[in-house]
Structure 1
Amino acid sequence: MAVSVRVPTILRTYTGGESEVTAEGANVAEVLEDLDAKYSGIKGRILDEDGKLRRFVNVYVGNDDVRFQDDLATPTPDGTEISVIPAVAGG
Structure 2
Amino acid sequence: MIPEPVHLVLPAGLFAAAGGNRELERAAGAGLTAAQLLDGLAVDYPRLERRIRDEAGRLRRYVNVYIDGEELRALDGLASRVRPGAEVLILQSVAGG
The answer as to 2:12 corresponding to 1:6 is: no
Deviation per CA, 1:11-60: give whole Å up to 9, x if none. 11122221100123501111111111122221121011221110000000
Unaligned runs of 5+ residues in structure 2 are none
What is the RMSD of the two structures over their aligned residues, measured on CA atoms? 1.5
- Contact 1:24-1:34 at 8 Å conserved across structures: no
The answer as to 2:34 corresponding to 1:31 is: no
Unaligned runs of 5+ residues in structure 1 are none
Q: TM-score, normalised by structure 1?
A: 0.89
CA distance in 2 between counterparts of 1:45 and 1:22 reads 19
Match of residue 87 from structure 2: 81
Q: Which runs of 4+ in 1 moved over 6 A?
A: none
Aligned length in residues? 91
The answer as to 2:65 corresponding to 1:65 is: no
Q: TM-score, normalised by structure 2?
A: 0.84
Higher-Rg structure is 2
Deviation at 1:90, TM superposition (A): 4.4
Percent of aligned pairs sharing the same letter? 35
